[in-house]
Amino acid sequence: MALPAKKAKAPIPTVTIPKHDPATLNGDAPKTPKTPADEAIDFFESATIQAGQPIRYMRLPPAYTPYVLRVSLDAGTPASRNGVFKTNFPLDGGRFERDRFAVRKLPTDFSSPIQIDLPISHAGAFVYWVEYDGDTPGSRVKGREGYFNVDPVLRTKTRTPIVSGGAIAVDGPTVKSDYVNLPLDGLSVLTIVSKWMGPTSGWREYFAESSARGYNMIHWTPLQERGESDSPYSIRNQLVYEPSMFSDSKDLGSDGGKAKLEEILKVAREEYGLLSLTDVVLNHTANDSPWLLDHPEAGYSPSNTPHLAPALELDTALLEFSTELEARGLPTTIVSEQDVAQIIGSLESYVKERNLWQYYVLDVEQERSTIKAALDKHDVVAWTRGDIANKTVVELAHAIQDSGLIEGYRKLEKRFGTHVSGPVAAGFVKAAFVNLADNDALVDAWIRVVDVLNVPLYEEWNEDTKAALDQVRNRVKYMRLEEHGPKLGPITPANPLVEPYFTRLKDTEPEIYSVANNGWIWNADPLANFALWPSKAYLRREVIVWGDCVKLRYGDGPSSNPWLWEYITKYVTDLAATFDGFRIDNCHSTPLHVGVALLDAARGVNPNLYVCAELFTGNEEMDTMFVSRLGINSLIREAGNAWDPKELSRLLYRHGLGKPLGSMDGACMTSKGELPPPTGKGPTRDCLVVPHNGSVPHALFYDLTHDNESYLHKRSAEDALSTGALITFSFSAIGSVKGFDDLYPKLLNLVQEKRKYKVTNVEENSGIAKAKRILNALHTEFALKGYEEGHVHQENDYIVLHRVQPHTQKGYILVAHCAFQKGSKDRGFITPIKLRSTKAKFLYGAQIEFSSYEVAADPSTLRGMPGKLVEISRVTVAEGSDAEGPYSEIVVPDYFPPGSIMLFETQMQGLDSSLDEFCSAGAEDAFGDLNLVDLNVVLFR
């Protein structure tokens, strides 16, 4: 039966983007060559290309093909009142500029919703908002800002499948010659510390090993020239690569080794299918960076940050006291709490001799002389801030304190820098003590007020001194006495009592050439700069300091510190041109405006720059703010933070589930539609409309990062296999560190460790690498082939993770027996796993056995524990049927000790892949003309 023709529908008001003409653009945006924004506009103005499937657009994925982000406003919204839409997305084409906004006038129709279409063409972080007339004449209301981030396009070499013909491919995954667009969920990142690799001439073997183990991106700790501490994160020269990386000094060249490094990274990319990610260190530089001598203004010093003056004095006192321990009869080697108490007791007296209280209080004698001189000269500034006559001295102290007329109040900028000018004080006491005429009596009255003012200031000094001494005491105990500390040994000039808070660049002009070292503070506000007033973190010794790193001072913008901004921008853009991605080191301490500006500059060089970061804000809303403002593509998460299997399953569900099995949101919420050209030029296109419901930050989920303790210390050595396997089943980017697969027994010290990695590929003595080869390869295939649905089940010490491709219902299931506790070989208990209407086939299983948890001493080579990966014999999957229908049942073998894993291939039975299409065929035509009453009859009658 033929269906009646569709009724004409009232058009929805839309915002038309005028015809793109770069010649009419305001500002300095370049006209040639065409930018991605120009290309997007050209795309929508060009003729459509016939293809088997309509071009899809959805929630801000990488712009492999330009698509539209539609912002919808409800009918009758206040934005209809002379409203405008503003965004810094380049709607008119041209280059993106953070502070350049496109403006679109909104329709004034109150009866229909308003839609604004943004043609998305390239990666980045963007903002938009709506402005409209307020309730009072002439007023304007700015709506809440919205942010959208577009993921970058990452392209890498394709690889052969790891599962072929229902079995694990012996030689897979092999890198092929063609390229593929890699979703962020397909990233498998390996962190490598370059200082343990040797010169670049030997890096090919590391590339071969990483690729063979299934990784597709290498995260490099900083490769720039290292400072005197030899830590990769203490960069001496941001524009020169570490000279020891090059076996031939000629490779360093006039460009600081940039060309040679790009050459070796090209080998990694083209021959081994490895993208490159590097740390970007924005917050500090090495304490021996030569350019600091020429540009001490790049750091925080008393000359540019005056309230640091007493902190510098205290730091100097601590260093001097540290050299005098023996002369004072104090222990230089700490072996007991009594030694600590003896040192701190003597230090308290030593610090108080420095009279740091003078930075806090008003100098009574100075106040006496200045007010006396003013009164004698009749130099009086009349008090105009309310009636203070006949008030008590305490009330008067509050009045002058609240007036803001006390200069340097609590600024701590110099000794006796807190004071009230004589004329002001004179006017104050004349207004307060109206019955006193004698100047000497007025002076005495003012001193009584000063004494009251000084009481809380002395208390503040006393409290700050006590806090500083407590911090020193705790630090000394941790660094030299406690079992879990480094136990540094004797106190010497090279290894003082506590780490210095300041780097002394010169012996002269300490107020200029003493610059604050960087560090971190427990539970600090990430948006507050702890080097700036009113923070007293350096004075109270609250900073856990990195003595080899000077904190950089960016100020409010480039005008505050022009040389530093230019220098670091050069550093960042050079890296963006060389690497595929950034890991922002210490991101939570990076001033937000600094991160935004520098990442904008980096994306100007490499629009498809992948950006990840580790945030320690402790607050999901704060995390989201950093992600949205900076355009962070992935936040680093770590499985090692879980304290038991239940918590690990929560993290897996939170960061790696994808969509739950059987999700209907895509099918139910997506609708077909027609897309008018966003510019008003070009054809109307068929499209899919997908609602945007907001998102949580994407995860780069590590089994272990390079700066955390090994599983041998956290849980058990065996858990490396079970947790490492579970992470690979996450529908997110995943990561590991070189040495995790090799079963390194402990955290390696970035500063002190000098040995080199041992390359073991996927051989017998390669730890869990054989298993990771399979699982890492599967992880990438999950993303490329859309295994986006998942299920996490935790039972006792077991976690089961199932990944499914929704269109085919093909899947993989991983059974992992966690090993959070040491020593047990017990199978534990898990209920047999029933898969309804699904067949399952065993693919792989393994457990790890250790002959010892010790590693033989080797002065030159890093080695893993002697762990043997033992493959499990094929597990037969039983099949049966009951009242609920057919099923497959997976039963864990009798010997399946903690740390063991099993991998199965699954396929739902009786599924016709064309069923969805058949059921939905003609539905739109059949229901297109029904009104709400008709739909009610169809659905409920």
Q: Which residue has the tokens 């702890």?
A: 530
What CA–CA distance (Å, rounded) separates 40 from 464? Answer: 59
Q: Can you give the CATH number for the domain in which 167 is found?
A: 3.20.20.80
SS3 of 756-811: ECCCCCCCCCCCCHHHHHHHHHHHHHHHHHCCCEEEEEEECCEEEEEEEECCCCEE
Report pLDDT digits (tens) over 571-584. 999 999 999 999 99
Which residue type does 800 have? V
Q: Is 940 contained in some domain?
A: no
Q: Is 654 contained in some domain?
A: yes
Q: Which residue has the tokens 């900028």?
A: 413
Using the CB atoms, write b or e for 325-340: b if 16+ within 10 Å: beeeebbeebeeeebb
Out of 559, 582, 603, pick the residue that ends a domain. Answer: 559
Neighbouring-strand partners of residue 659: 789
The strand pair at 188-192 and 167-168 is best described as unpaired
Cis peptide before 645 (omega within 30 of 0): no
Mean pLDDT of 364-385: 96
Q: In the structure, what pLDDT confidence band is assigned to residue 919 with cuts at 50, 70 and 90?
A: low
> How many helices (H) and strands (E) are present in the chain, helices listed first?
22, 37
Answer yes or no: do 337 and 370 share one domain: no
The least confident of 198-212, 213-227, 665-679, 915-929 is 915-929
What CA–CA distance (Å, rounded) separates 813 from 111? Answer: 52
What CA–CA distance (Å, rounded) separates 597 from 69? Answer: 24
**Of residues 117, 90, 2, the one with CA closest to residue 674:** 117
Answer yes or no: do 385 and 455 share one domain: yes
Out of 440, 465, 490, pick the residue that ends a domain. Answer: 465
Chain CA centroid to CA 741, Å: 25
Q: In the structure, what pLDDT confidence band is assigned to residue 923 with cuts at 50, 70 and 90?
A: low
Answer yes or no: do 128 and 169 share one domain: no
Q: pLDDT at position 378, please?
A: 94
Report the mean per-residue pLDDT for the chain: 90
Mean pLDDT of 750-765: 92
Neighbouring-strand partners of residue 33: none
What CA–CA distance (Å, rounded) separates 827 from 818? Answer: 11
The least confident of 108-112, 206-210, 864-868 is 108-112
Q: pLDDT at position 934, please?
A: 77
- For 878-924, the DSSP string reads EEEEETTEEEEEE---S---TT-EEEEEEEESS--TTHHHHHHTTHH
The DSSP 8-state label assigned to residue 419 in this structure reads B
The DSSP 8-state label assigned to residue 325 in this structure reads T
With beta carbons less than 8 A apart as the criterion, state whether 885 and 836 touch: yes
What CA–CA distance (Å, rounded) separates 312 from 296? Answer: 15
Q: Please pick, among 315, 574, 585, 719, the residue that the annotation labels catalytic.
A: 585
What CA–CA distance (Å, rounded) separates 227 from 565? Answer: 21
What CA–CA distance (Å, rounded) separates 786 from 807? Answer: 9
Answer yes or no: do 758 and 871 share one domain: yes
What CA–CA distance (Å, rounded) separates 570 from 665? Answer: 45
The DSSP 8-state label assigned to residue 641 in this structure reads G
The pTM of this model reads 0.88
Q: In the structure, what pLDDT confidence band is assigned to residue 165 with cuts at 50, 70 and 90?
A: confident
Residue 938 has pLDDT above 80, yes or no: no
Mean pLDDT of 859-880: 94
Q: Which residue has the tokens 């990666």?
A: 123
Answer yes or no: do 386 and 455 share one domain: yes
Residue 514 has pLDDT above 90, yes or no: yes
What CA–CA distance (Å, rounded) separates 16 from 19? Answer: 9
Residue 427 has pLDDT above 80, yes or no: yes
Q: In the structure, what pLDDT confidence band is assigned to residue 12 with cuts at 50, 70 and 90?
A: very low
Cis peptide before 510 (omega within 30 of 0): no
Report pLDDT digits (tens) over 214-246. 999 999 999 999 999 999 999 999 999 999 999
Residue 637 has pLDDT above 60, yes or no: yes
* Region label for 125, one of left (φ > 0), alpha (ψ between -120 and 50) or beta (otherwise): beta
What CA–CA distance (Å, rounded) separates 258 from 255? Answer: 6
**Of residues 520, 560, 561, 516, the one with CA closest to residue 539:** 516
With beta carbons less than 8 A apart as the criterion, state whether 872 and 902 touch: yes
Q: Interhelix angle for 439-480 vs 422-432, to 10°?
A: 120
Residue 593 has pLDDT above 90, yes or no: yes
Q: pLDDT at position 114, please?
A: 84
Neighbouring-strand partners of residue 834: 889
Answer yes or no: 585 catalytic.
yes
Q: Please pick, among 20, 122, 219, 588, the residue that the annotation labels catalytic.
A: 588
**Of residues 45, 181, 208, 210, the one with CA closest to residue 123:** 181
Answer yes or no: do 840 and 860 share one domain: yes
Q: Is 938 contained in some domain?
A: no
How many CA atoms lie within 13 Å of 10's alpha carbon, on the beta-carbon side?
Answer: 7
**Of residues 96, 116, 94, the one with CA closest to residue 105:** 116
Strand order in the sheet with 838-850: 659-660, 789-795, 798-805, 810-817, 901-908, 838-850, 867-871
Q: Please pick, among 398, 707, 791, 793, the residue that the annotation labels catalytic.
A: 707
Q: In the structure, what pLDDT confidence band is assigned to residue 621 with cuts at 50, 70 and 90?
A: confident
Residue 912 has pLDDT above 70, yes or no: no
**Of residues 136, 172, 35, 15, the one with CA closest to residue 83:** 15
Q: In the structure, what pLDDT confidence band is assigned to residue 32 with cuts at 50, 70 and 90?
A: very low
At residue 780, φ and ψ (nearest 5 deg) are -65, -40
Q: In the structure, what pLDDT confidence band is assigned to residue 565 with cuts at 50, 70 and 90?
A: very high
Tokens encoding 338 = 């009594």
Residues 50, 56, 61, CA angle at the centre, nearest 5°?
135
**Of residues 843, 284, 241, 824, the one with CA closest to residue 518:** 284
Residue 46 has pLDDT above 60, yes or no: no
Neighbouring-strand partners of residue 907: 810, 839
Residue 25 has pLDDT above 50, yes or no: no
Q: In the structure, what pLDDT confidence band is assigned to residue 94 with cuts at 50, 70 and 90?
A: confident
With beta carbons less than 8 A apart as the criterion, state whether 189 and 733 touch: yes
Q: Is 832 contained in some domain?
A: yes
Answer yes or no: do 319 and 392 share one domain: no
What CA–CA distance (Å, rounded) separates 232 from 241? Answer: 11
Q: Is 927 contained in some domain?
A: no
Q: Which residue has the tokens 């230089």?
A: 332
The least confident of 36-50, 138-152, 307-321, 499-513 is 36-50
By the 10 Å C-beta count (0-12 exposed, 13-18 middle, 19+ buried), 923 is classed as exposed
Q: Which residue has the tokens 């006017």?
A: 427
Output Rg (C-alpha) for the chain, integer angstroms: 34
Answer yes or no: do 826 and 721 share one domain: yes
Answer yes or no: do 601 and 488 share one domain: no
- CB proximity list for 675: less than 8 A, separation 6 or greater: 57, 68, 117, 684, 685, 686, 687
The DSSP 8-state label assigned to residue 302 in this structure reads T
CA distances (Å), 161 to each of 147, 216, 803, 805, in order? 38, 14, 17, 16
Answer yes or no: 707 catalytic.
yes
Q: pLDDT at position 687, please?
A: 84
With beta carbons less than 8 A apart as the criterion, state whether 157 and 217 touch: no
Mean pLDDT of 62-78: 87
Neighbouring-strand partners of residue 839: 907
Which residue type does 311 have? A
**Of residues 508, 497, 452, 491, the one with CA closest to residue 475:** 497
What CA–CA distance (Å, rounded) separates 486 from 476? Answer: 11
Out of 614, 632, 650, pick the residue that ends a domain. Answer: 632
Q: In the structure, what pLDDT confidence band is assigned to residue 56 with cuts at 50, 70 and 90?
A: very low
Continuous H helices in 554-643:
562-578, 592-605, 620-630
Dihedral (C-alpha) 814, 820, 826, 827: value to the nearest 10 degrees?
Answer: -20
Mean pLDDT of 832-836: 95
Q: Is 807 contained in some domain?
A: yes
Q: Is 935 contained in some domain?
A: no
Q: pLDDT at position 924, please?
A: 67
Answer yes or no: 588 catalytic.
yes
What CA–CA distance (Å, rounded) separates 475 from 615? Answer: 24
Residue 59 has pLDDT above 60, yes or no: no
What CA–CA distance (Å, rounded) separates 908 from 889? Answer: 13
Answer yes or no: do 416 and 480 share one domain: no
By the 10 Å C-beta count (0-12 exposed, 13-18 middle, 19+ buried), 882 is classed as exposed
Residue 141 has pLDDT above 60, yes or no: yes
With beta carbons less than 8 A apart as the criterion, state whether 586 and 520 touch: yes
Q: In the structure, what pLDDT confidence band is assigned to residue 9 with cuts at 50, 70 and 90?
A: very low
* Counted domains in the chain: 5
Rank 114-123, 382-391, 664-673 by mean pLDDT and report only the highest. Answer: 382-391
Mean pLDDT of 297-310: 98
What CA–CA distance (Å, rounded) separates 281 from 586? Answer: 8
Mean pLDDT of 443-452: 97
Answer yes or no: do 766 and 867 share one domain: yes
Q: Is 13 contained in some domain?
A: no
Q: pLDDT at position 13, please?
A: 38
Residue 614 has pLDDT above 70, yes or no: yes
What CA–CA distance (Å, rounded) separates 106 from 931? Answer: 29
**Of residues 500, 479, 477, 458, the one with CA closest to residue 311:** 500
Answer yes or no: do 427 and 515 share one domain: no
The least confident of 47-56, 65-74, 427-436, 790-799 is 47-56
Domain range enclosing 858:
638-915
